[in-house]
Amino acid sequence: MPSNTLTRTRLAIVFTVGFAAALGPALVAATPAWSAEGGRPSISKKHFGTLAGGEKIDVYTLRNSGGMRVKILTYGGILQSIEVPDSRGRPANVTLGFDNLSDYVKKSPYFGCITGRYANRIAKGRFTLDGKTYRLATNDGPNHLHGGAKGFDKRVWKADPFRRGGSVGLVMTYTSPNGEEGYPGTLRTRVVYTLTGDNRIRMDYRATTSRPTVVNLTNHAYFNLRGEGNGRILGHELQINASRYTPVDKTLIPTGKTPGLGGTPLDFRAPTAIGDRIDNKHQQITRGGGYDHNYVLDGRGLRTAATVVEPDSGRVLKVITDQPGLQFYSGNFLDGTLRGTGGRLYPKRSGFALESQHFPDSPNHANFPSTVLRPGDVYRTTTIYAFSTVS
Ligand code: GLA
């Protein structure tokens, strides 16, 4: 038996066990072993690296019939690589990342990770819930950012692969103990990544808690639809379905107001190149060093929040979400010192993030949609990165 066949056979056994755990035996019985051949959806696992404490980190490679290949790490639940065809069918990796574990541990500015327990900022690392004040790490000037010193982006997630029809995916789980990073309650967290046959990465989040707490989960992928390491993102045309936003103070904490975007250089209701107004002297843009703002999305339910078109490659990304907000971050803190997956340096603004979320600092703003989760309630949210092309 050739060794690759042997490997596949072993993988099929491993994954069948995984399915049983994640989805129950009924689905397993109907699920044949699959392979990467003939454009069929597939999933495989390899060792990616070992943490200083000895924990082994895996990388899963998911393929679909639409020409996409997505790599996901058990470290941080990181989307390490997203290969997508351009309008002529040529694939490129459109997300920023590293080719090794050590760079993720030591220097990652949240590339591709699951971000939590609270994505974005909490002012002065402090919030009060049911009369009790909780203190969190201040890891961003005076504020708490992206879950603290060791947030969900730096945790090891359990991964169970599955296949359903033309889709393949991973069920990622992590249990955050009561008090971790200062947050109350044991938080049982599940993020299901699904790569569909029609070139979507779907992320279904679920969490439950043992005590009242706050939660705000997102994915922090940086995109460059020209391909990572292939220049800046200033020519990408962005459209965001938001009429309002949450302006920030000097430390990027919302003031609490939600003014209209009309007449400001932050208004993306009509498709506009990211670079067109990025150096505008508007106070909000200078505060963010570019765009680093939460948009109050129009509408409710699962809807298109943003559409990005990259004219040279013809690649299109739609972000679809049920969340009330979307942080548009134009990669202002990238500074040309990080070397990415393909061996090239990442200059300022060579990637952008569109983080679906609740509004930053919601625990300290009673007028913002609530991020409180209580025992017995289930936190659920869905975000989809949908890829396509225009010619
Ligand atoms: C988010 C924040 C930014 C920055 C990046 C990571 O997008 O809003 O200010 O912290 O994450 O560098």
Residue 374 in contact with residue 212, Cβ under 8 Å?
yes
Region 360-383: mean pLDDT is 98
Does 201 have pLDDT greater than 80? yes
pLDDT digits (tens, 9 = 90+) for 267-326: 999 999 999 999 999 999 999 999 999 999 999 999 999 999 999 999 999 999 999 999
Nearest to 100 by CA among 284, 339, 298: 339
Residue 71 in contact with residue 45, Cβ under 8 Å?
no
Q: Which of 120, 218, 329 to mutate to test the pocket of ligand 1 (most atoms within 8 A of CB)?
A: 329
What is the tally of helices (H) and strands (E) in the chain? 4, 27
* Ligand 1 atom 9 nearest Cα: 292
Pairwise pLDDT comparison (222 vs 10), residue with the higher score: 222
pLDDT of 184 reads 98
CA-to-CA separations, 65 to 36, 40, 62, 85, 160, in angstroms, rounded: 9, 5, 11, 12, 21
pLDDT digits (tens, 9 = 90+) for 216-252: 999 999 999 999 999 999 999 999 999 999 999 999 9
Does 37 have pLDDT greater than 60? no
The active-site residue, picked from 144, 293, 355, 365, is 355
The active-site residue, picked from 220, 236, 358, 365, is 220
pLDDT digits (tens, 9 = 90+) for 122-176: 999 999 999 999 999 999 999 999 999 999 999 999 999 999 999 999 999 999 9
- Active-site residue, 47 included: no
